[in-house]
Every structure is written in structure tokens, then in C-alpha cells.
Chains A and B, each alone.
Chain A
Amino acid sequence: MDEPILKVKGLCTEFKTVDSRVRAVDGVDLELYPGETLGIVGESGCGKSVTALSIMQLLPKGVGQVVGGEILFDGKDMLKLSQKELLSLHGRDMAMIFQEPMTSLNPVYTIGYQLSEVLRYHMGMNKKDAWQKSIDLLKDVGVSRPEQIVRSYPHELSGGMLQRVMIAMGLSCNPKLLIADEPTTALDVTIQAQILELMGKLKEEYNTAILMITHNMGVVAEVCDRVIVMYAGYVVEMAEVNELFDHPSHPYTQGLLKCIPNINEDREVLDTIEGTVPPPYAMPKGCRFAPRCPYATPECEASKPELYDIGGGHTCRCFRYKEGNPNA
């Protein structure tokens, strides 16, 4: 097997608030191999985006801080890099696509200017070549009339179109790692289908490792090879995508899969997960899912479970799997 391009161990990220510190990510481990798509799913506030920002070292200065663990990207320790070294990594070796393309592009520059800026900075291209390459990139991501689009400003384009521009920008220097933070959440389903298809195609073409952050289980099933499920700041389950959907093991994953209305099924009443996610300042002492878990025991409330290996690269943070798989 290849060396993982990205290796995260025991990542902890904290945010300063007025009177305390809140731990948004608490001990996340993950490995990502070249050409692989790893999905991180979870509900809002589970720490999936903060994980991505920590990896990119894009946490808001003075507010968010990585307080523990290590992030190895391509053999380099991200936490020890200087600002200058980071600048040369961002956009070239690791790129990120954000949820809202409208707010991630600069409204006062043309699309062509913003695309060629990356190329000129990282690849040392001259203005003319970079402009031409921008047009080619837009063609690659399926933008029609790219010669015209490079001259337009972000407000003149639709959301789907802008997200294509973002993807083109992300892939412009052929990065080893692409982090996509909810790339299709702000888009309509027909446009989402276009973008997902495009990402799949580009992955094969460029052999880029993708870290796909989403809350949509349908998107996960469609594009990911492996999946990490996060809940309240930590990983609760990790498995191959088929394994996860066939044998969801953590009670949270099981609940999550059951409460999505499925277009191919008819159901009278939807299953629900009772209660809400605990706020980060009042995390339960034991298992964080215990207050909402149908299987909770006194042990779950008292101590925190580990990630237990249940075979075939499938791990699950639940005491029920301490001595192997009870369902196996």
C-alpha cells in the first residue's frame, strides 16, 4: 500500500470564548491515501469543518487553535510550518473548496484574474499563458463559453457555475489533496448532480486525494471510498463505504441512516434520534451520544469508549463492540 498523503493523529482544536475555551475537535485520527475519497459526515457543530480548517491551518487567528495532536501532510508537519511555507502549499499541493462559492470569490476581480493569479503565483506563468490556461481549466470543468466567462465577475454567474470556477481554481495546480467542505450544499439537486459527476471524473483524471465533508448521506454513498462519522467533536465510526451502509455499527450512525426519508421507500412514521446534540460547553463525561442512545448503560455515562476495531478496517466508538461485534 502507498504511503498516506495525509495523516492526522489525535487532533484537538479549541476556540476561545469570552470566559472559557471550547474544544470543537477532540482527538480525531485519519489517514488519506492518494486517489482516495474520504468522507466526513456529521451534523452541524460536530467539528467536521473545524477538522478541515485545522488541516489547512486556516483557523481564525487568535480565536481557534490546534492544541494537540499532529498533522502530517506529505511528510511535513503542518503545525510547524511558517506562514511563508504555508502560502506555498496552499493552492499548490493542497486546495480547498468551500460551501458558498459566492462568498469565497473576490467580487471586485474577474474570474479570469482570480484563476490566473493562482497560476502566476505558484507556477510562475506569465500573464498571457495564465489567462489561456484559465480558459482551458474552465473548459475542463464543463463551463460553456469559457472565453466569455473569464471576463465576467462573480455576481454575474450562477451558484453552480461559481462552484465549477472554485473547483477549477482548486485543481489548477494539480494538488495532491483537495478538501471539499460541503461543496454541493448550497446548490440545487440537478446542479449538485452535475458537480458530483464532475468531481468523480476529475478525481480519476488528476489522481487527487479528496477529503469530502458533507452532512448528506446520499452524497457520501455516491462519491466516497471510506467514511468517517463524527459526533460532538470526535469520530464515532469509520469504515469502507459499502460496509458502513450495510452494517452501520454505532447507534448514532444507525439512527442517522434510519431517519432520512428515502425516495425509494414508503414509511408511515420516520425514525428519529430523540434529543439534541450536547453543546460543547456541557459535554457528557462518558460517551457523548449516551443521552440520546437507546442502548445506553451506566458504563456509557461513566467513562468514554475507545474506537474499537471490529474487523476489515471498520472501527466504532461504542462499548457494545468492546469484545468484538455483538451482531457478528
Chain B
Amino acid sequence: MPEEKEVLLKVDHLKTYFPIRKGFFNKVVGHVKAVDDVSFFVNRCETLGVVGESGCGKSTMGRSVLRLVEPTEGSVVFDGVDVCKLKPEEMRKFRSRMQIVFQDPLSSLDPRYTIDRTLAEPLKQHTNMTDAEIKEKVLELMEKVGLPAFHATKFPHEFSGGQRQRIGIARAISLNPEFIVCDEPVSALDVSIQSQVLNLLRELQRELKLSYLFISHDLSVVKYISDRVAVMYLGHIVEMAESEELFAHKLHPYTQALTSAIPIPNPHLTKQRIVLQGDVPNPANPPKGCPFHERCSQCKAICREERPEFKEVSPGHYVSCHLYN
């Protein structure tokens, strides 16, 4: 048996709603329920993968955890501290422990800063290092992510997509964080570069004992990098389990459809594909009952009326579906 795992991040009933305003007085006429009551945890040195289609709220969830978007309700407990209750100044200091890598590396780097300046910035803000120490640390960071030192005085536009993403990763690990939200870090990259960055993230995790919340729409990537996986749909987590368990026993009809929809690079494979009908419903006006019932092939009467509970059906395997109640 592996040693007892320590929970690093625990999120309870997190909700992030965006108000819809209308009219002259900006009256709130409704809410887009981007993240609607999600609960999960991330263990130390573990990767929790989050998959879902566009608009399912996975990025908003990642940002809410870091309070880059203020959550509406719920609690985010990081290593015993409720992040949502921290005052702005405390939060600023606390951010050195939790970082983020963004999807588009070009727009998340300042185009007027050279790379060494970008990488030195967090060190200046959060530590008392001298200039010489900072310089040394920057070079060390660059080496860690596989960027030769002569790149230090270049600007972001001079790099390729993969290199830029390495810079984004170097910036995220510069303050020795314990937790990094990776928000689609490889989606903008070509496959040959994607595998380089994925391997780098894994190496760094082992070396620096990092925990990741890895957000992606690509199930194969998530499967490769994650220890546990959560599947999101319309602001809810519909299924969560250990990676192997999840892919071996897909319980939720949405997970089944999602995995069967992936084109497999093997022309001999003829597989039974579940093709979902229709589109994802509008999160401002979600269907009553189970959020997936309109597209579900196994929809029952109760699914239209009542929202299923997020329940543990076997050890560590959570699912929110009436079929398993």
C-alpha cells in the first residue's frame, strides 16, 4: 500500500456565477453559472486532471481556486488555510505558493520585457534576493526548463510556441510553489512540441514535489499526465476517479460519450461510437434536473426533475448520475 496521502487542496461546494446585467440601471437579470457547486481535492505531489468541452467551466474553476476570479460561494482550503477568506495583502503573499501556467504563452508574457526580466519579476516581488542572486536564479530556472542561457536577453516574440510555454513554466516555478494550475498548457502547441512540454511538466513534478491541477480538453493528454481525473459538464463535475479506474470503468454516460468521440490514430480500429446529439446547453439557462439529460441516451423520468447527487459509488470513484443511485 502506498503511504497515506496528504490532502493539499480541498475545494468544497465552489460556485462562481457571473451576473448578466441589462438595462439602464445595470440590473442583474440572471447569472451564468460557470462553476456550479463543485467539490474536489488534490493530494500533495499529485496531478488532478480536469477535462471537459469548451464552456464547461473548467478554466473558471482553475482561476477561482487561485482567486483570479472571485468565487461566489464555497471554500477553497489550501494546506489548512481558507484562501477565500484571506485579505488582499495576505493573498498576494500567499500566491507564491500557488501558481498558474496559461494556455496562450504569447499573450501571458509581457512583450516589452526580456525573458530574464519577466523571470526576475516574481523574485523581486516576493523575496529579498540581491540582484546577483536573482540573476543566478533566473539562469538556473532557464536551465531547469531546458532553455539555453543565451536566450535570457531575448523578447517573447523571438521564441517559438514551445519555448514560450517553457518560459511560462519557468515563471510559475520560480518561487518554489507547491501547487500549479496548468490551464490548457499544451493546447496551442504542435504534437511533437506538446510531448516535450508534457515530459517537462512530469520531470518538474518529481523534482520539485509539485501538485498540478491540469486543465485540458484533450482526454488522451489528461490520461497521460494525471493520477486522478475529473470530468466536467456545464459547470458540474460529473465524474471523478483515479485515472486508471476512470478509463477502465466509465460510469457517467457523458464520460462514455466523450471517450468514444476521440479519433484514435489507428485505421484498423472499428469502434462503436456514441455520437451525442445537439450542443451543450446555455449555462445561463441550464436545464432542470441533471444538466446532461437533454443529450443523454439513458435519460429517465427522474433525470428531468431532480439533480443527481455527487456520490462515491466505489472507493475513490465519484459520479453524479441517477443510474448509480
Interface of A toward B, CB cutoff 8 Å? 43-44, 144, 158, 160-161, 188-194, 196-197, 215-222, 241-242, 245, 255-257, 259-264, 266-267, 269-274, 276-277
User: Which residues from 191 to 241 on chain B have a C-beta closer than 8 Å to any C-beta of chain A?
Assistant: 191-196, 198-199, 202, 217, 219-221, 223-224
Chain A residues closer than 8 Å to B53, beta-carbon distance: 188-191
Chain B residues closer than 8 Å to A241, beta-carbon distance: 267
29 contacts between A and B (CB under 8 A): A43-B193, A158-B279, A189-B219, A189-B261, A191-B279, A192-B263, A193-B273, A193-B276, A194-B276, A197-B275, A215-B190, A218-B264, A221-B266, A245-B266, A259-B194, A260-B191, A260-B195, A261-B195, A261-B198, A261-B220, A261-B221, A261-B223, A263-B259, A269-B202, A272-B195, A272-B199, A276-B160, A276-B162, A277-B190
Q: A220-B265, A257-B265 are in contact. Are A267 and B224 (CB under 8 A)?
A: yes
The 7 A-B pairs of least Cβ separation, nearest first, read: A218-B263, A259-B195, A188-B53, A193-B261, A43-B190, A261-B224, A217-B265
B192 engages A256 (CB within 8 Å): yes
Q: A188-B53, A190-B53, A196-B263 are in contact. Are A259 and B191 (CB under 8 A)?
A: yes
Chain B residues closer than 8 Å to A188, beta-carbon distance: 53-54, 217, 280
- In the complex, B268 has a CB within 8 A of chain A: yes
* Complex Cα gap A144–B259 (Å): 25
Q: Chain A nearest CB: distance from B142 CB in Å?
A: 17
Q: Chain B nearest CB: distance from A39 CB in Å?
A: 11
Mark interface residues in B249-270 (1 if CB within 8 Å of A CB, else 0): 0000000011111111111110
Q: Chain A nearest CB: distance from B255 CB in Å?
A: 11
**Which of B265, B268, B279 is the most central at the interface, judged by chain A CB atoms within 10 Å of its CB?**
B265
Chain B residues closer than 8 Å to A216, beta-carbon distance: 263
Chain A residues closer than 8 Å to B202, beta-carbon distance: 269
B259 engages A193 (CB within 8 Å): no
Q: Chain B nearest CB: distance from A240 CB in Å?
A: 9
B199 engages A263 (CB within 8 Å): no
A245 engages B267 (CB within 8 Å): yes
Tell me how many residue pairs across A and B have CB atoms closer than 8 Å: 118
Q: In the complex, given contacts A191-B53, A261-B224, A266-B244, what are 13 additional A-B residue pairs having Cβ atoms less than 8 angstroms apart? A: A160-B279, A161-B279, A188-B54, A189-B258, A190-B275, A197-B275, A216-B263, A218-B264, A221-B263, A264-B264, A267-B224, A272-B192, A276-B163
- In the complex, B41 has a CB within 8 A of chain A: no
Q: A189-B53, A193-B275, A194-B275 are in contact. Are A43 and B265 (CB under 8 A)?
A: no
B222 nearest in chain A by CB position: A261
* Complex Cα gap A221–B270 (Å): 11
- In the complex, B94 has a CB within 8 A of chain A: no
A224 nearest in chain B by CB position: B267
Q: Chain A nearest CB: distance from B54 CB in Å?
A: 6
Q: Chain B nearest CB: distance from A224 CB in Å?
A: 8
Q: A161-B279, A190-B53 are in contact. Are A262 and B191 (CB under 8 A)?
A: no
Chain B residues closer than 8 Å to A257, beta-carbon distance: 265
B258 engages A190 (CB within 8 Å): yes
* Complex Cα gap A308–B48 (Å): 47
A260 engages B267 (CB within 8 Å): no
Q: Chain B nearest CB: distance from A79 CB in Å?
A: 31
- In the complex, B247 has a CB within 8 A of chain A: yes
A222 engages B192 (CB within 8 Å): no
**Which of A160, A196, A255, A261 is the most central at the interface, judged by chain B CB atoms within 10 Å of its CB?**
A261
Chain B residues closer than 8 Å to A43, beta-carbon distance: 190-193
Chain B residues closer than 8 Å to A245, beta-carbon distance: 265-268
**Which of A190, A262, A277 is the most central at the interface, judged by chain B CB atoms within 10 Å of its CB?**
A190
User: Which residues from 49 to 67 on chain B have a C-beta closer than 8 Å to any C-beta of chain A?
Assistant: 53-54
